[in-house]
Amino acid sequence: MPSAEKSGFRFPSAFTILFGLIVLVAALTWIIPAGQYERVPSEALGRDVPVAGSFAPTDPNPQGIFDVILAPIAGFYDPLRYTANAIDVSLFVLIIGGFIGVVTATGAIDAGIARAMLRLKGRETWMIPILMALFALGGSTYGMAEETLAFYVLLIPVMIAAKYDALTAVAVILLGAGVGVLGSTVNAFSTVIASDAAGVSLADGLLLRLAILAVCWVVTVAFVMRYAARVRADPTRSLVHDRKAANEAHFLAPGADREQPGGAPFTGLHKIVLILFGLTFGVMIWGVAIGGWWMAEMSGLFLAAAIVIGIIARLGEGRLVDSFVGGARDLLGVALIIGLARGIVVVMDAGLITDTILHAAETSVAGLSQTAFILVVYWIEVGLSFFVPSTSGLAVLSMPILAPMADFAGVQRELVVTAFATASGMVNLVTPTSAVVMGGLAIGRVPYERWLRFVWPLLLVLTLIVMAALALAVNFAGAP
């Protein structure tokens, strides 16, 4: 403790970072001129979309101290219209916490981890590519993002018991699903909406996106496996080594024999609980990918599953309720972070500077060569993604403006869609405005600045891969 106090600067928590960004964006509403595009309703997208060339200045609406204070509240719900913002995601996280709390109370997770480590002894490293392939599949096909928050509490104890660290588990989930979103193939919340808004078929550009997904996935898996092997060989090389004991105490069962996994009894009841546990996640994936489910239905699923598991395990009414509430309490900080992150976008929209930033992007690409155009569009989408972490929201906002400009530059519109998808996926691996990033790091107890230190070399390599793919594609593709 004395050495820590003498070290001076301490990186602020996620709460401080996000609130500071709210203040910064509010200050920008006093500096950046207000403006808006005309919008027309789109039946296909179910919302209004901006009209290219229609931007016009409007009366400013600078955000003051009161707006800054209300922003975290407005991040959960619109206090004027009483419509939801991030409250559904936050509630989902709390119910997931309750569900995990009930399953943990049965002892099935701890016993299952011990048995899994015994069976995988000497082959634990294969968990990384297998799991990252599954998460990437979800990210590429249906934009698996918020749903991944449910897997952290399950996977982190497994990785720690396998002599890795919490950061390895976070990387497997966050980078696995994230690289899938980066290489979105048929992602309904990214390429489907963007392709429709750009006026092209989803099949257009699919082969390029598949190639980007494959190459980026291989590079990302190799990056994570290299770090994991280094940590396992020398735990002091872990970026969260100073939290090793605390994380083991938090994520592993007290008194568990970590040197000889398999010592805990694994009963028939544990098997039933774990089957129901896995079945719940399977139903969730089916519901999102095929059944048209979203946060309300997923929350109801985990609530019902918690009750069923509690009854089958004979926890009793009191212990069932206490376990559920205790599990939800463990993820309360995560739920608050999610609302705080959404508050940044609320302030920017209310200050009427979102369209102004988009208009600046529109004017910056005029008169560029084909290669320069597609690379500038990519970096424009990167910048916009920091302010609009929602892939569907960014698609609706930017595609109606940037896609028609591709016609004048002699670039196929599907390349603009691919530039959007890769840029949005790249930024959503690190942006502090993303509930998925900040929520996952909070669950894994990984400080944000250490995540940045870990992931920046990978981001550099992935960026070069994407830019090279876009430059090659625009030169080999025919004119639109």
Tokens of 255: 């008194």
Tens of pLDDT, residues 177-192: 999 999 988 786 788 7
DSSP 94-105: HHHHHHHHHHHH
Q: Which segment, 148-162, 256-270, 312-326, is predicted with the most confidence on average? A: 312-326
**Residue appearing with tokens 């808004």:** 197
Q: Which of 61-65, 176-180, 197-201, 307-311 has the lowest mean pLDDT?
A: 197-201
Within 13 A of 367's CA, how many CA atoms are on the CB side? 2
In the prediction, which pLDDT does 249 show?
A: 86
pLDDT of residue 6: 43
Contacts of 280 (CB under 8 A, 6+ apart): 99, 301, 302, 305
pLDDT at 325 over 90: yes
CA dihedral 284, 300, 389, 200 (to 10 degrees): 60
Mean pLDDT of the 196-218 span: 88
What is the model's pLDDT at position 320?
Answer: 93
Q: Residue 9 CB: number of other CB atoms within 10 A?
A: 5
Q: Is this structure's pTM higher than 0.75?
A: no
> What local confidence, expressed as pLDDT, does residue 260 receive?
42
At residue 98, what are phi and psi to the nearest 5 degrees? -65, -40
Quick one: pLDDT at residue 217?
97
Mean pLDDT of 404-414: 79
pLDDT of residue 85: 78
Is 7's pLDDT higher than 60?
no
- pLDDT(145) > 90: no
In this prediction, residue 120 has a pLDDT band, given cuts at 50, 70 and 90, of low
Section 205-215 average pLDDT: 94
Q: Which pLDDT score is estimated for 255? A: 46
48 phi and psi angles, rounded to 5 deg: -80, 145
Q: Band of the pLDDT at 216, cuts 50, 70, 90? A: very high
Say if residue 5 is exposed, middle or buried (CB neighbours under 10 Å; 0-12, 13-18, 19+).
exposed
Q: Which residue has the tokens 């208009």?
A: 359
Decide which of 15 and 302 is more confident: 302
Residue 295 is encoded by which pair of tokens? 């946060």
- Distance in angstroms (rounded) separating the CA atoms of residues 21 and 31: 15
The mean pLDDT of 94-111, rounded to a whole number, is: 84
Return the DSSP state at 246: H
For 21, 194, 299, 453, the CA distances from 14, given in Å and listed in that order, are 11, 31, 25, 15
- Written as one letter, the residue type at 161 is A
- The three-point CA angle 48-73-38 to 5° equals 20
CA–CA distance from 438 to each of 15, 74, 256, 258, 441 (Å)?
9, 18, 30, 29, 5
pLDDT of residue 429: 94
If DSSP codes are grouped into helix, strand and coil, which group holds residue 468?
A: helix
Contacts of 255 (CB under 8 A, 6+ apart): none
pLDDT of residue 41: 80
Given a cut of 50, is residue 5 above it in pLDDT? no
411, two tokens: 């670039």
Q: Which of 24, 36, 412 is nearest to 200 (CA)?
A: 412
Answer yes or no: are the C-beta atoms of 114 and 151 closer than 8 Å.
no
Burial of 80 (0-12, 13-18, 19+ CB in 10 A): exposed
What digits encode the pLDDT tens for the residues 257-309?
444 444 457 788 888 988 998 888 788 778 866 887 777 888 899 999 999 99
The gap between the terminal CA atoms of the chain, to the nearest Å, is 64
